[in-house]
Amino acid sequence: MPGAGTDKTKTWVETPAPVIILVEPQLGENIGATARAMANFGLSRLRLVKPRQGWPNPKAHVMAAGADRVLENAQLYDTVQEAVADCRYVIATTARAHDQAKPVLSPEQAAAEMAPRVQAGETVGIMFGRERNGLENDEVALADAIVTLPVNPAFASLNLAQAVLVVGYEWFKRVTDGALPFVKPERSPPAPKQQLLAFFENVERELENVEFFRPPEKRETMVINLRNIFTRIQPTQQDIQTLHGVILSIAHGRKGPARGGILNGDEASMLRTLLAEHGEGKVPNERGPVRGLARLLRRNPTEAERLLWDALVTDKRFAGRGFKRQTPVGTHICDFVSFTLRVVIELVPPDESESATATREARRAWLEPRGYRVVAVQSIDVEANAASSLDTLAAQLEL
């Protein structure tokens, strides 16, 4: 299982690279941390000159964090001369001027010098000194060039593994042309202008409905600014589809009984009472209720309606039976209806007025001759215990 960047499922790729030479490293932990830094940047050849705590060192394996292969292949030497004997080109890393007439390179310049030599098959070594006092003058004298870093002169000493990490980074960047291991995924292509324009029209239409563009004389400038906001982010096709959904949800509400409609639960109950007392929203010379009324009711459920719907769609006895909310049936809007079962469920509010009761009875009288079974459920019972109300419904409907 891949961890935080370490993936053992991938092949360990070894390419020609410089040899890392640690001169008398004091702590096993620093050797292990160096191995980890080397593994990060494709360096696998490690040479140790007289490590102070002996070798092998179990503390090194702890700090290597999985770079055991580097440690297991490490070579041990008694002197620096022996460690660099087969090298055609050697670089000494140091934070101190040694007053030696040698080229002084940055890590980036050193990588440029080493790359063609390694590519030609030469053995190239990079020496790192002791944690306490670095490399001695006679050791630097063995090198062809010096590498140092642009650091704070008052605090120039780096931890051993940190120094290896910086040099290793520049080396790997050079040989890989700085290619990153992954890039931003393109899960969706950029949105074409046609899709953007359709989105703009949709947003602007909804903003017109709520009188956003005021004063009128500033409308053109506001529209341009708004379009520029979305154009600057360079949205993908999926982004625009998502934003379309967001705008529609805000403007028209969800299809399900989500909280947060235009009306709260009490106001939604009041709306239904008014409709029941005034002919279910019908207008003179019209056969059905006002257009869009069912959608308004769906957007603004009462608390009992929301609870009962949640129970209906999650209970296996009712789920898949085709129940819908606030759906027109003929000239009436029913609280819940299943055309599959030919069942209508009505929520009866407490203290229902006489006119509302008469409207409900008239609705029943219209539905039953047309093959619908009408079942009344008390809202107060649903709010008290929706599960119990559902059990009663299941028994009545023999589900």
Helix crossing, 28-40 with 160-175: angle to 10°? 10
Do 302 and 361 have their domain in common? Answer: yes
In a domain, 14, yes or no: no
Q: Indicate the residue among 148, 175, 202 that finishes a domain.
A: 175
Check: CB of residue 89 under 8 Å from CB of residue 117: yes
Do 168 and 111 have their domain in common? Answer: yes
Do 291 and 379 have their domain in common? Answer: yes
User: Where is pLDDT greater, at 117 or 187?
Assistant: 117
Q: What is the pLDDT of residues 109-161, one digit of tens each?
A: 999 999 999 999 999 999 999 998 899 999 999 999 999 999 898 898 889 99
Q: Indicate the residue among 144, 175, 206 that finishes a domain.
A: 175
In a domain, 308, yes or no: yes
Do 162 and 62 have their domain in common? Answer: yes
In a domain, 380, yes or no: yes
Do 296 and 381 have their domain in common? Answer: yes
State the average pLDDT for the chain: 86
Do 163 and 199 have their domain in common? Answer: no
CATH number at residue 345: 3.40.960.10
Instruction: State the pLDDT at residue 265.
Output: 62
Q: Indicate the residue among 175, 201, 226 that finishes a domain.
A: 175
Do 171 and 282 have their domain in common? Answer: no
CATH number at residue 89: 3.40.1280.10
Do 236 and 88 have their domain in common? Answer: no
- d(CA 380, CA 311) in angstroms, rounded, equals 15
Q: What is the pLDDT of residues 214-263, one digit of tens each?
A: 888 899 999 999 999 999 999 999 999 999 888 877 776 555 454 545 66
In a domain, 185, yes or no: no
In a domain, 180, yes or no: no
Do 60 and 165 have their domain in common? Answer: yes
Do 159 and 201 have their domain in common? Answer: no
Q: Count the domains in the chain.
A: 3
What range does the domain containing 368 cover?
265-397
- Given a cut of 50, is residue 283 above it in pLDDT? no
Structure tokens at 51: 């490590």
- d(CA 274, CA 279) in angstroms, rounded, equals 9
In a domain, 188, yes or no: no
User: Where is pLDDT greater, at 265 or 137?
Assistant: 137
Structure tokens at 39: 């593994």
- What is the average per-residue pLDDT within 307-329? 87
Structure tokens at 344: 């209508």
Do 234 and 275 have their domain in common? Answer: no
**Tokens 């719907």 — which residue?**
309
List CB contacts of 265: < 8 A, sequence separation 6 or more.
Answer: 301, 302, 303, 306
Q: What is the pLDDT of residues 33-55, one digit of tens each?
A: 999 999 999 999 999 999 999 99
- What is the average per-residue pLDDT within 371-375? 94
Structure tokens at 92: 């000494």
Do 307 and 391 have their domain in common? Answer: yes
In a domain, 5, yes or no: no
In a domain, 187, yes or no: no
